[in-house]
Amino acid sequence: MSDQNFDSLAHKFTHNIYGTIKGQIRLEILNRDLNKYTPLQSQKLRILDAGGGIGYLSRQLAAQGHEVVLCDISDELLHKAQQEIEQFTPNISLQLLHCSIQKLPKNLGKFDLILCHAVLEWLEDGYQTLSKLQEFLSETGHFSLMFYNLEAQRFHALVCGNFSYINNGLKAKKTVRLTPQHAYLIQDIRKWFKEWQLTEVATSGVRVINDYLKAGARQQFNESELIDMELKYSTHPAYLELGRYIHIIGSN
């Protein structure tokens, strides 16, 4: 087995993630957390976007004046990233590397901020891969991890009445290629952070409402109202761990 490569699914992947309200919610929460809990607003940072794909967030950060390196194993996604840079933000410091996280060149040096968003769930050996990634984090750096949440996966199946899926250990009879295959518990990720000697400075749920909306509910509000509610309740202790994804920032 190997890590997921999205070359053959690049267009569908890009549309499904970034062309929907799901992607908008993700970006809003990531931007809020990163701006609030890392030095993005106070100094120029050296940033690594590990498995950054088409680089939506990387381009934003580079456009703010930060020095960004983005790596991904998908040549097709990196090609799209280069097209986006040339079309919208040609004068930014954003380096694209066609390689896996495991094969990042050691001479890249250290980074003030490392992003690893919606990547862990596609890795065959997530713990070892992210452990190696810590070698690139500076002594005062921040690590931003967003991962697919096992308890949210389970709860979504419960409220949908998909009890056979629950009883089958959350293993689908038919694999959907864009459905993550490796979900994680927040307490296990916190154990990893402690092993890496990272202090947890922020934790948010991503999509704590959207994925549980009842049929017809979307007719009662517009998307900006939904995003406002997602932001409001993403850190609420009763709802945070219902997020389809969890975003954790740790600092050295």
CB atoms within 10 A of CB 62: 23
pLDDT of residue 133 exceeding 70: yes
Task: Return the pLDDT at 5.
Answer: 62
Q: How buried is 105 (Cβ within 10 angstroms: 0-12 exposed, 13-18 middle, 19+ buried)?
A: exposed
Mean pLDDT of 105-115: 97
Mean pLDDT of 2-16: 58
d(CA 10, CA 15): 9
Identify which of 128, 100, 124, 133 has the alpha carbon closest to the alpha carbon of residue 180: 124
Of the given ranges (36-40, 81-85, 144-148), which has the lowest mean pLDDT?
81-85
Of the given ranges (2-6, 72-76, 143-147), which has the lowest mean pLDDT?
2-6
> What is the per-residue pLDDT across 195-220, written as a single tens digit (0 to 9) for each?
999 999 999 999 999 999 999 999 99
> What is the per-residue pLDDT across 85-105, written as a single tens digit (0 to 9) for each?
999 999 999 999 999 999 999
Task: Return the pLDDT at 62.
Answer: 97
d(CA 197, CA 131): 11
pLDDT confidence bin for 230, thresholds 50/70/90: very high
To the nearest 10°, the Cα dihedral for 70, 190, 165, 21?
A: -50
Identify which of 54, 118, 132, 123 has the alpha carbon closest to the alpha carbon of residue 247: 118
Task: Return the pLDDT at 83.
Answer: 93
Average pLDDT, the chain: 92
d(CA 45, CA 42): 9
Q: How buried is 41 (Cβ within 10 angstroms: 0-12 exposed, 13-18 middle, 19+ buried)?
A: exposed
Q: Please report, rounded to a whole number, the percentage of residues in the chain having pLDDT higher than 70.
A: 90
d(CA 252, CA 246): 20
pLDDT of residue 2 exceeding 70: no
d(CA 25, CA 18): 10
pLDDT of residue 158 exceeding 60: yes
d(CA 153, CA 26): 17
Task: Return the pLDDT at 241.
Answer: 96
Task: Return the pLDDT at 204.
Answer: 98
Task: Return the pLDDT at 194.
Answer: 98
- Which is more confidently placed, 173 or 138? 138
pLDDT confidence bin for 224, thresholds 50/70/90: very high
Q: What is the DSSP letter of 184?
A: B
Task: Return the pLDDT at 171.
Answer: 85
Task: Return the pLDDT at 181.
Answer: 81
Question: DSSP per residue over 125-149, as a string?
Answer: THHHHHHHHGGGEEEEEEEEEEEEB
pLDDT of residue 112 exceeding 80: yes
- Which is more confidently placed, 17 or 240? 240
Mean pLDDT of 160-167: 94
